Chains A and B, each alone.
Chain A
Amino acid sequence: MNAMPPLKQRKLSLKERYSHLTRGLGWETTYQPMDKVFPYVSYEGIKIHDWEAWEDPFRLTMDAYWKYQAEKERKLYAVIESFAQNNGHLNITDARYVNALKLFLTGVSPLEYSAHRGYAHVGRHFVGAGPRIACQMQAIDELRHAQTQMHTMSHYNKFFDGLHDARHMHDRVWYLSVPKSFFEDACSAGPFEFLTSISFSFEYVLTNLLFVPFMSGAAYNGDMATVTFGFSAQSDEARHMTLGLEIIKFMLEQDEGNVPIVQRWIDKWFWRGYRLLGLVSMMMDYMLPKRIMSWAEAWEMYFEQAGDALFEDLSRYGIRKPKYHEVASKEKHRLSHEVWSIFYNYTHAAAFHTWLPTEDEMKWLSAKYPDTFDKYYRPRFKCWSEMAAEGKRFYNPTLPQLCTTCQIPMGFTEPDDPTTICFRSAEYKGERYHFCSDGCKDIFCYEPEKYVQSWLPVHQIYMGNCGGAEVKDVLDWYHLNFGVDNFDYEGSPDQKLWDEWQAQKAANPV
């Protein structure tokens, strides 16, 4: 008994500790061949010679993970709880703001869930323990985001319309096929492309444009619950972004042959992500009653400046900026106006309300977009507002043609001419396909066999797969409450209630 002297414990550094607790957990299988256990790591053409060369950013072990995440959750649910108890929805600047939340819950939250499953796929199928653990942690984080968003919005759902059936709508409603197809495109790709698309192009390059202005906007508009879940989620996002940069470097450092494959994915996913963010541009410029910064300013800060530094850093591997980034920069002064116009056209078929900007708001837009707003968009809004005043509110009665790749109605203009709608098309196996841009056309032409599968909402309606031939039938099939969830904010049940609450507030000052 007790033959050994007490062991002296070396204090392990963070790196050593992490390495002992993760590296070496996996093993080379011998009863089953490795390529049967990990069947998906080679078909994309990416060559990995040494999985051990993976650099672990944020060396989190599960003990620390549970501890920090539990602390974040305790704080977050305390805020959600008090928001509900104090009827926090009464403190927002204006009920129009809630429409941004509707777009978020139906458009973005289901993506968080998809990301959860996508990262679980890679978390199972990568070979190295390091990258697999990073993916698994992201998989459970993304589940967290989806769930905390459902919980935060739960209170809003009790008082406002259009938040009641997010998953159902996400799968069916015409404009929600834009985010849905984006994410399914990524999840149906191989593991390396998935990480390039979501971890790098989306999380690292573009996600700041979604979360930071959105959450800052929520704070500015009095929505403390959303700010809290947003920032609580972002604290995970910093870890995810780092995974994005590491995976790119890992692929590029492993084999020279990986460079052109990665470049093509960066090109594809930059454009795909940028098109998706068109929805955010309109949210920033039109849907926040109090605005933080314009889409153009955000694009400059988060893509042009931050992207310059990033792509300069990656240039030593032979990676250049994504193709068509200059088109995105040309479009920055018109993107939000074009997208908002599309929704104004089709507000009868949307699950959130639209409106025309007030005179004050138009002043802000003129100041932020001095070269474009007064010239192209103010006259359009003026015309629509006159039509509405005469009782002839403009609706577009025909179903729009959709871009086969991004699935947005064809409403974007030529890169060098903001007055001409941009149309591109390509033929594949005797059929003609249509696109909103060169970026979307290129993506299709590289993988036509994938994009011909697209579940295009307008085509599906015409094929009779969406509940019927009348708009009303289709909206029923969407679970969209006609005359409640759709049409202008002006005259909506949301507005009526909000005005009542405001009147009571005025009658009972604190």
Chain B
Amino acid sequence: MTIDIRTATIQPRRQTYANVARRIGADKPASRYEESMFDMQATGEFHYRPTWAPEYELFDARRTVIVLDDWHVLRDPRQFYYGTYTITRSRMMEASEKAFAYAERRGSLSAVSDQWTELARHYLLPLRHYEWGANMNNCNITDIGFGSAITQAAMFATMDRLGIAQIVSRIGLLMDGGTGTSLTAAKQDWLEHPSWQGLRRAMEDLFVEPDWFQVFVAQNFALDGILYPLVYRAFDDEGQKQGGGAISPLTEFMLDWFDETSRWVDAVMAAAAKESEANALHLSDWAASWTARARQALEPLATEVLHDREGEVLDGIVDDLAARCRKIGLRA
């Protein structure tokens, strides 16, 4: 029911919240992203020190060596707030559901060669644990990161990684007829197979890394930056040649997700690097050392899947990462 009052007589008295107006100017209407992201986190007048980290305030900028005057420069170029985030993901998932339904109905994975199935179980399924680790690392950033801009986007990334772990698990269930045996075997690989130990060790080291910004760079830039193109592009291309093409539609989600999320990761690092030479140095060091480590960790797997093309493919991926670094103002 509308009420007939001429619109001229009910002019708004202000365009947006005062904290938003202080940032974007008073006479501008704000976006939903701005109204629900800026200044959501408390920055002062804290009552009690956390019993679990009494050396810090509940939210404390000193939990990383990165220094920013205003933490809201770490904006998300996707401008995700909860509503746009869930709607975007549910659309992506709808497409994946179709791929899963098709694979299930047609039994299309049984068309994959034995040899490639074996290999895919080995290179793909243990990634559910990698994703769970990435979930944990992003959850950690949500927990101790500073400012609502970075922490809310890290929250979305946290849930993304759980979602991807579950997509990988569903591929396993499709491969083992719903018994879960493939998942048990994949966990065994993750825990014991020599090819996986470099990656697992890197993840466990990140779990205890106190600087959350370093965790951000290591996980979301370096490790993902090598692993995603390697597994979901290079390995997948190899699969196309070896009768593994039926798996590809099931991992489309990951490719789309990686393209989208990289923009956020790059924007965050670029904004932090822009602020000071000191920030840029830290970020460059982290990017360089974790890229080297990620490459080393993934070499054994790359060799198993790509054989003698391993070096060439990894060189290409590392070059792409170096190009990303330069573009966002890091030394590479």
A interface list, Cβ under 8 A from B: 1-12, 20-22, 24-27, 29-32, 36-37, 39-40, 43, 61-63, 65-67, 69-71, 73-74, 76-77, 86-87, 90-91, 110, 113-114, 116-117, 120-121, 123-125, 129, 133, 136-137, 139-140, 143-144, 146-148, 150-151, 154, 157-159, 163-168, 170-172, 177, 180-181, 184-185, 187-191, 450-451, 453-455, 460, 479, 497, 500-501, 504-505, 508-510
B82 and A2 within 8 A (CB): no
A136/B162 contact (C-beta < 8 A), A123-B139, A167-B40, A508-B5 known: yes
Q: State which of A63, A124, A168 has its C-beta within 8 Å of the C-beta of B140.
A: A124
B178-186, B233-241, B299-307, B319-327 - interface stretch: B178-186
B139 and A188 within 8 A (CB): no
A165 and B140 within 8 A (CB): no
Complex Cα–Cα for A187 and B143 (A): 11
List chain A residues, Cβ under 8 A from B35.
150-151, 154
Complex Cα–Cα for A40 and B52 (A): 7
- Across the two chains, which residue of chain A brings its CB closest to B50? A188
Q: State which of B13, B19, B58 has its C-beta within 8 Å of the C-beta of A158.
A: B13
Question: Is B274 part of the contact surface with A, judged by Cβ < 8 Å?
Answer: no
Could you tell me the distance in whole angstroms from the C-beta of B213 to the nearest C-beta in chain A? 16
Q: State which of B41, B86, B109 has its C-beta within 8 Å of the C-beta of A69.
A: B86
Known: A20-B180, A450-B51. 18 other contacts (CB 8 A): A4-B117, A7-B109, A25-B128, A67-B93, A116-B155, A123-B158, A124-B140, A139-B142, A140-B82, A168-B18, A184-B58, A185-B47, A187-B58, A188-B48, A455-B46, A497-B13, A501-B10, A510-B1
List chain A residues, Cβ under 8 A from B48.
181, 184-185, 188, 450-451, 453-454
Which among A27, A90, A163, A460 has the greatest number of chain B C-beta atoms within 10 A? A27
A66/B129 contact (C-beta < 8 A), A73-B82, A143-B155, A172-B45 known: no
Complex Cα–Cα for A63 and B152 (A): 20
Complex Cα–Cα for A117 and B191 (A): 31
B interface list, Cβ under 8 A from A: 1-6, 9-10, 12-19, 32, 35-37, 39-52, 58-59, 81-83, 86-87, 89-91, 93-94, 96-97, 104, 107, 109-111, 113-114, 117, 128-129, 132, 135-136, 139-140, 142-143, 148, 151-152, 155-156, 158-159, 162-163, 165-166, 169-170, 173-180, 183-184, 187, 190-191, 200-201, 204-205, 207-208, 243
Could you tell me the distance in whole angstroms from the C-beta of B194 to the nearest C-beta in chain A? 14
Q: State which of A29, A113, A158, A508 has its C-beta within 8 Å of the C-beta of B14.
A: A158
B18 and A74 within 8 A (CB): no
A501 and B5 within 8 A (CB): yes
- Across the two chains, which residue of chain B brings its CB closest to A129? B132
B5 and A61 within 8 A (CB): no
Complex Cα–Cα for A65 and B82 (A): 12
Complex Cα–Cα for A107 and B284 (A): 42
The 4 closest A-B pairs by CB, nearest first: A62-B163, A6-B107, A70-B90, A158-B12
List chain B residues, Cβ under 8 A from A1.
113, 243
A31 and B183 within 8 A (CB): no
B15 and A158 within 8 A (CB): yes
List chain A residues, Cβ under 8 A from B176.
7
Could you tell me the distance in whole angstroms from the C-beta of A382 to the nearest C-beta in chain B? 35
A21 and B169 within 8 A (CB): yes
B47 and A120 within 8 A (CB): no
List chain B residues, Cβ under 8 A from A188.
47-52, 58
Could you tell me the distance in whole angstroms from the C-beta of B235 to the nearest C-beta in chain A? 19
- Across the two chains, which residue of chain A brings its CB closest to B3? A90
A73/B87 contact (C-beta < 8 A), A154-B35, A158-B14, A159-B13 known: yes
A133 and B39 within 8 A (CB): no
Complex Cα–Cα for A39 and B111 (A): 47
A62/B17 contact (C-beta < 8 A), A21-B166, A184-B47, A188-B49 known: no
Could you tell me the distance in whole angstroms from the C-beta of A65 to the nearest C-beta in chain B? 8
List chain B residues, Cβ under 8 A from A67.
90, 93-94
Complex Cα–Cα for A479 and B142 (A): 29
Complex Cα–Cα for A314 and B257 (A): 45
Q: State which of B44, B178, B190 has its C-beta within 8 Å of the C-beta of A171.
A: B44
- Across the two chains, which residue of chain B brings its CB closest to A20? B180
Which among B42, B135, B180 has the greatest number of chain A C-beta atoms within 10 A? B42
A505/B93 contact (C-beta < 8 A), A121-B143, A150-B35, A167-B19 known: no
B183 and A167 within 8 A (CB): no
Could you tell me the distance in whole angstroms from the C-beta of B78 to the nearest C-beta in chain A? 15
B208 and A36 within 8 A (CB): yes
A90 and B177 within 8 A (CB): no
Complex Cα–Cα for A2 and B45 (A): 67
List chain B residues, Cβ under 8 A from A90.
3, 5, 10
B45 and A510 within 8 A (CB): no
List chain B residues, Cβ under 8 A from A177.
45, 47
Could you tell me the distance in whole angstroms from the C-beta of A143 to the nearest C-beta in chain B? 6
- Across the two chains, which residue of chain A brings its CB closest to B144? A121
List chain B residues, Cβ under 8 A from A20.
169, 173, 180, 183
Complex Cα–Cα for A140 and B153 (A): 10
List chain B residues, Cβ under 8 A from A500.
9
Which among B39, B41, B47 has the greatest number of chain A C-beta atoms within 10 A? B47
A505 and B190 within 8 A (CB): no
- Across the two chains, which residue of chain A brings its CB closest to B46? A184
Which among B17, B97, B159, B201 has the greatest number of chain A C-beta atoms within 10 A? B17
A77 and B83 within 8 A (CB): yes
B174 and A164 within 8 A (CB): no
Could you tell me the distance in whole angstroms from the C-beta of B41 to the nearest C-beta in chain A? 7
List chain B residues, Cβ under 8 A from A8.
177
Complex Cα–Cα for A197 and B86 (A): 28
List chain B residues, Cβ under 8 A from A129.
132
B93 and A63 within 8 A (CB): yes
- Across the two chains, which residue of chain B brings its CB closest to A163? B17
Which among B50, B166, B243 has the greatest number of chain A C-beta atoms within 10 A? B166
Complex Cα–Cα for A25 and B14 (A): 49
Which among A157, A455, A479 has the greatest number of chain B C-beta atoms within 10 A? A157
Complex Cα–Cα for A6 and B107 (A): 6
Q: State which of A26, A87, A154, A190 has its C-beta within 8 Å of the C-beta of B17.
A: A154
Complex Cα–Cα for A86 and B36 (A): 22
A180 and B5 within 8 A (CB): no
Complex Cα–Cα for A36 and B156 (A): 26
Complex Cα–Cα for A69 and B82 (A): 9
List chain A residues, Cβ under 8 A from B2.
86-87, 510
- Across the two chains, which residue of chain A brings its CB closest to B180? A20
Q: State which of A114, A120, A144 has its C-beta within 8 Å of the C-beta of B143.
A: A120
Complex Cα–Cα for A166 and B20 (A): 11
Complex Cα–Cα for A43 and B54 (A): 13
A87 and B40 within 8 A (CB): no
- Across the two chains, which residue of chain B brings its CB closest to A182? B47
Could you tell me the distance in whole angstroms from the C-beta of B145 to the nearest C-beta in chain A? 9
Q: State which of A76, A165, A170 has its C-beta within 8 Å of the C-beta of B83.
A: A76
Complex Cα–Cα for A1 and B169 (A): 24
List chain B residues, Cβ under 8 A from A163.
17
List chain A residues, Cβ under 8 A from B5.
87, 90, 501, 504-505, 508
